[in-house]
Amino acid sequence: MNKRPTLEDIRRAPKVLLHDHLDGGVRPATIIELARDIGYEGLPATDPEKLRTWFEEAANSGSLERYLETFSHTVGVMQTIDALTRVAYECAEDLANDGVVYAEVRYAPEQHLGMGLTLEQVVEAVLDGFARGHRDFGIRVGTLVTAMRHQARSMEIAELAVRYRDLGVVGFDIAGAEAGYPPTRHLDAFEYLQRENAHFTIHAGEGFGLPSIWQAIQWCGADRLGHGVRIIDDIEVDGDDARLGRLANYVRDKRIPLEMCPTSNIQTGAAKSIAEHPIGLLRRLSFRVTVNTDNRLMSGTSVSEEFAKLVEAFGYGWDDLQWFTVNAMKSAFAPFNERLEFINGVIKPGFAQLKWSGARPLA
């Protein structure tokens, strides 16, 4: 029998991350320095540890207003080329230190124009940071450009994704409040991306239910779902039996990836606790589940910590963690050959080594 993976072991496993926001993972010390550089005022603290605590408390407060305020500060200081490049570079370093080997990190270029940058300058600054991160830390990071669902720039952002597709932008996303802003509002952008054979994911089924998931898949043609937790509204559980409705069956049959973010879902109220998070049921029913961080700063988390919490709540072992990881790599927007190389050349050998070294009986 395998030893239960510890956080320390999990950090050494080669991991894959598909849903992570650049403005949700900035280091507190960097926020303070960048604020000083550009004369940004209004940070709630100027000591890194105090600022870190403030972010986590605001995110845990249950107040949407306070949660959104956290992003106004990170986005507020990410308004210059140097700031964007630095934040991307440090993101690559932090993920690499957590054992992530492949990541897709997203951000909304339209939120970084406050000090006069163009959309192109924003995209190029972020790509530059990740390219340097790849050179120094070996981690491969693709970016997703996000359009804000309450704004009207999705077509422009979709065109940006296509223009930079061979330079490190691997896909497109829409984010922001779901209620009142259905994905079909941006149908022209999604149709354009489909005609261009481009990849995209849609934040859907987090705060809002099945109609949002249905629209994202059947109207917009999403390759993946950001969160998608509400798909359980279409599953009836009776003891060990589960009856899937047509949409849930479709999502499972077509192997549509669910980018699940357990800790973040608890903070936004989409789930009550890790133990009650739908990920347990969806994994048991073999949906294409992946494990993600969403906002590492606000949630005080990392991929390894998300895994460790799942190990504790559901008793997962190395096979489960490898299954989530291979699911994520299969679902990545990187080209097929690259995905295969990661799965066979990095992920499987890496997990095999950890399983082998941990293979001693439980005391």
Q: Site residues (CB under 5 A) for Zn ion? A: 294
Q: Which C-beta is closer to Zn ion: that of 9 or that of 20? A: 20
- CB of 227 vs Zn ion, minimal distance in Å: 7
Compute CA 121 distance to the chain's CA centroid, rounded to the nearest angstrom: 23
Please state the closest distance from residue 175 (CB atom) to Zn ion, in A.
Answer: 6
Specify whether the CB–CB gap between 91 and 129 falls below 8 A: yes
The smaller minimum CB distance to Zn ion, of residues 168 and 226, is found at 226
Q: Give the residue from 122, 120, 119, 143 showing the smallest Cα distance to 131.
A: 143
Beta carbon of residue 206, minimum distance to Zn ion (angstroms, whole number): 8
CB of residue 106 vs Zn ion: minimum separation in angstroms? 7
Residue number closest to Zn ion, CB atom = 294
Q: In whole angstroms, how close is the CB of 295 to Zn ion at the nearest point?
A: 7
Q: Which residues contact 253 (CB under 8 A, 6 or more apart)?
A: none
Q: Which residues are designated catalytic? A: 206
Q: Cβ closer to Zn ion: 15 or 149?
A: 149
State the minimum distance, in angstroms, from the CB of residue 299 to Zn ion: 11
Residue 216: CB partners within 8 Å, gap ≥ 6? 183, 202, 204, 205, 222, 225
Pick 294 or 306: Cβ nearer Zn ion: 294
Distance CA 115, CA 11 (A): 38
Q: Whats the size of the chain, residue-wise?
A: 363
Distance from C-alpha of 181 to C-alpha of 258, rounded to nearest angstrom:
20
Residue 224 or 252: the one with the smaller Cβ distance to Zn ion is 224
Q: Which is nearer to Zn ion, 146 or 322 (CB)?
A: 146
Bridge partners (DSSP) of residue 236 are 243
